[in-house]
Amino acid sequence: MPARVALAPRYQVRGPSFSKNIMSSENQNVASRTIAFLASLHGHHEHHVDGRAAVLDLLTGIAYVPNLDYEDAVMLTMIAPGGAVIADAVHTHKVVEAYLVRYAQAMAIADGGSVQAQYEHIQQHFAVKTGS
């Protein structure tokens, strides 16, 4: 009998920052570009939480959603696989930095070269994709 593959759980999020559902189109654009870039990294997948774009870390099961209380996706909300909010507001640049390093390590193993060279290439790609 084949083993069952666990699928990503449904995220049900409750909390004060999720009561707002209006974000300016410019902020949506920045947030969507940031989420799309993170989702393109190794071990990540684009996901939706309460109808909003999110990125799902496939290794930990943590979902990251732009926090609507902050403009330009400056802060993200970390959501556990069970739907509990781990952290309501984490700096996006810290999340991006951690995952860029992890991706650079994976690419150095897969493609060869140094982690530093891979990291610099990924940073340039990030700047182009997100406009930052």
| Alpha carbon distance 114, 37 (integer Å) | 22
5 belongs to a structural domain: no
In this prediction the pTM is 0.70
1 belongs to a structural domain: no
10 belongs to a structural domain: no
Q: What is the pLDDT of residue 26?
A: 55
| Alpha carbon distance 127, 108 (integer Å) | 20
6 belongs to a structural domain: no
56 belongs to a structural domain: yes
pLDDT band (50, 70, 90) for residue 57: very high
7 belongs to a structural domain: no
Q: Give the H/E segment covering residue 106.
A: helix 92-111
Q: What is the pLDDT of residue 27?
A: 56
- Number of domain units in the chain: 1
Q: What is the pLDDT of residue 126?
A: 82
- Lookup result for tokens 């870039």: 37
Reported as a single tens digit per residue, the pLDDT across 15-52 is: 333 333 444 555 567 788 888 888 888 889 998 888 88
| Alpha carbon distance 52, 54 (integer Å) | 6
The parent domain of residue 66 ranges over: 16-130
100 belongs to a structural domain: yes
